[in-house]
Amino acid sequence: MGIESIKEKIRVVEDFPQKGIQFRDLTTAFKDPKCLKDLSDKMTDMCKNKGITKVVGIESRGFILGPVMANNLGAGFVTLRKPGKLPAETYQESYQKEYGVDTIEIHKDALSEDDVVLIHDDLLATGGTMRAAYELVKRFGVKKIYINFIVELEDLNGRSLFPEDIEIESLIKY
């Protein structure tokens, strides 16, 4: 299945979660077994041969393909969650989203200086969530950080929030 076939599986929901937003709903792609397999394979292929030791997934849609990629890469999986969801000590980062302010957390013992980290989420829009995730991962002094998405909304220019030396990849671009 090619990229265009996968794009056709992604539903667009108008005015969600608020008026004026065109929400790219990936659940329609995930429910198709062939599409899910192809997404898993293509996303993993983007990350091969980078020495990734941990995949960090952002709650909640980063929890779908994040563990799959971690498994395929022989890496561990780490969750970034909303406040109060992680049971041990955490680092916390707040950020501005397209439609409000939010906060994410990571366990203080989730990563080490020896890790090569891939931060994964389903979609890059304005970049606030991923920038917060990037700042959290940087606190650990890891060897290298990579970032990837299934979908990128290029006209929202989310990439502009990151240093030029950070490798950011997206499978599908709108």
Sorted by sequence, the CB contacts under 8 Å of residue 39 that are 6+ apart come out as 6, 29, 30, 65, 150, 171
Burial of residue 40 (number of CB atoms within 10 Å: 0-12, 13-18, 19+)? middle
135 is catalytic: no
Set 8, 93, 98, 105: catalytic member: 98
CB 102 within 8 A of CB 95: yes
pLDDT at residue 98, rounded to an integer: 62
pLDDT at residue 99, rounded to an integer: 66
pLDDT, tens digit only, all 174 positions of the chain: 899 999 999 999 999 988 988 999 999 999 999 999 999 999 999 999 999 999 999 999 999 999 999 999 999 999 999 999 999 999 999 998 766 789 999 999 999 999 999 999 999 998 999 999 999 999 999 999 999 999 999 999 999 999 999 999 999 999
Would you state the CATH architecture of domain 49-173?
Answer: 3-Layer(aba) Sandwich (3.40)
11 is catalytic: no
Length of the chain: 174
Helix (H) or strand (E) holding 133: helix 128-138
CB 132 within 8 A of CB 58: no
Set 59, 61, 159, 167: catalytic member: 61
Helix (H) or strand (E) holding 66: helix 62-73
